């Protein structure tokens, strides 16, 4: 009797094993992506709110509600300042006309805060070639030949710090003297005196922490950048000063008239009051 030959049965369902492996790996990928998106949700919410606020201040997306969605992560505080668009993008995206309007806004605020000092001619505020110039005269802030600010000048510096809080501009602190030579135990020349005064003022602003350290710089110019003639006592008094120059990171000549057709949109600033905490009072 002949035995039947047995052949191995062909399995036509082996593809299901590879398919199951593929689905498992795909599931793992989506789990990782979901976990990453949940971890960055708060950061994404803050960036989205900052972009929306910047566009709203420029007159764009005016019909969009500024309230965050129910799924958005809450902000770190109820008094979180509006982040300017050029900080979000990491560059100056405003036109020269808009930057000039911002600086004029700061100028008006400072003139109101420092009205007594402006009237007494110890502080002057004007638009210069590089930006807004806040000039601190020696008579109101320093003793002759000394680089330490007077105690009575600290509240004035605090008001300036409050006005500059949350602004996106750099600040260059310049020390200036008249052309009368100086030689004391502390300072050998006007270079040392002007530099020391600039750095002492910079240190005060660093303590206030309203202007980031990377946006601050200090320099001494001695008698070589006068604003008046040194031939008179009045002129020499005007030259003995420390200038706080508020300037954007892009080069703009603020002494020139605005370009035709430039946007006249005014950006919104969060109001800084004396009740806001300032370090180093």
Residues 38, 117: one domain? no
Q: What's the CA gap between 59 and 67, in Å, rounded? A: 17
Domain of 50?
15-80
Element (H, E) at 242: strand 241-247
Q: What's the CA gap between 114 and 222, in Å, rounded? A: 26
Residue 25 domain flag: yes
User: Which CATH number belongs to the domain containing residue 241 in this structure?
Assistant: 3.30.1330.60
Pick the closest to residue 166 from 279, 255, 87, 252 (CA basis): 87
Pick the closest to residue 131 from 178, 166, 165, 164 (CA basis): 164
Residue 102 domain flag: yes
Looking at residue 50, what is its pLDDT? 66
Residue 240 domain flag: yes
Q: What's the CA gap between 261 and 259, in Å, rounded? A: 6
Looking at residue 154, what is its pLDDT? 95
Q: What is the pLDDT of residues 16-47, one digit of tens each?
A: 788 888 888 888 888 888 777 665 666 666 66
Reported pTM: 0.61
Residues 116, 181: one domain? yes
Q: Is the dihedral of CA 234, 204, 145, 246 positive or negative?
A: negative
Is 182:190 a contact under the CB 8 Å cutoff? Answer: yes
Pairing of strands 216-220, 170-176: parallel
Residues 98, 170: one domain? yes
Residues 34, 140: one domain? no
- 60 pLDDT above the threshold of 50: no
- How confident is the prediction for the chain on average, in pLDDT? 77
Q: What is the pLDDT of residues 175-234, one digit of tens each?
A: 999 999 998 989 999 999 999 999 999 999 999 988 899 999 999 999 999 999 999 999
Residues 6 or more apart from 183 whose CB is under 8 A from it? 189
Tokens found for residue 176:
């200036």
Number of structural domains the chain divides into: 2
Pick the closest to residue 222 from 246, 186, 198 (CA basis): 198
Residues 176, 74: one domain? no
**Overall average pLDDT of the 89-117 stretch:** 83
Is 59:98 a contact under the CB 8 Å cutoff? Answer: no
Residues 102, 71: one domain? no
Q: Higher pLDDT residue, 22 or 15?
A: 22
Residues 31, 167: one domain? no
> Maximum CA pair distance of the chain?
137
Q: What's the CA gap between 25 and 22, in Å, rounded? A: 5
Residues 29, 154: one domain? no
Residue 7 domain flag: no
Residues 141, 230: one domain? yes
């Amino acid at each position: 009797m002949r035995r039947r030959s047995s052949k191995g049965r062909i399995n036509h369902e082996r593809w299901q094993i590879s398919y199951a492996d593929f689905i498992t790996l795909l599931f793992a990928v989506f789990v990782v992506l979901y976990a990453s998106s949940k971890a960055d949700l708060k950061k994404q919410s803050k960036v989205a709110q900052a972009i929306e606020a910047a566009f709203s201040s420029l007159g764009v997306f005016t019909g969009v509600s500024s309230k965050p969605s129910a799924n958005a992560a809450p902000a770190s505080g109820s008094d979180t300042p509006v982040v300017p668009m050029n900080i979000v993008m990491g560059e100056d995206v405003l036109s020269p006309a808009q930057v000039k309007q911002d600086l004029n806004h700061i100028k008006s605020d400072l003139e109101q805060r420092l009205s007594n000092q402006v009237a007494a001619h110890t502080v002057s505020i004007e638009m210069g070639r590089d930006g807004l110039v806040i000039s601190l005269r020696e008579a109101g802030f320093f003793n002759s030949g000394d680089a330490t600010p007077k105690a009575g000048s600290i509240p004035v510096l605090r008001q300036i710090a409050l006005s500059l809080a949350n602004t996106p501009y750099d600040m260059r602190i310049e020390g200036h003297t008249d052309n009368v030579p100086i030689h004391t135990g502390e300072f050998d020349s006007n270079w040392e005196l002007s530099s020391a005064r600039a750095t002492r003022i910079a240190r005060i602003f660093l303590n206030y922490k309203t202007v980031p350290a990377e946006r601050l710089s200090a320099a001494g110019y001695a008698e070589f950048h006068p604003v008046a003639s040194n031939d008179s006592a009045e002129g020499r008094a005007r030259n003995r000063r420390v200038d706080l120059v508020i300037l954007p990171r892009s080069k703009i000549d603020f002494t020139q008239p605005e370009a035709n057709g430039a946007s006249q949109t005014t950006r919104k600033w969060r109001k800084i009051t004396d009740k806001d905490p300032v370090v180093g009072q």
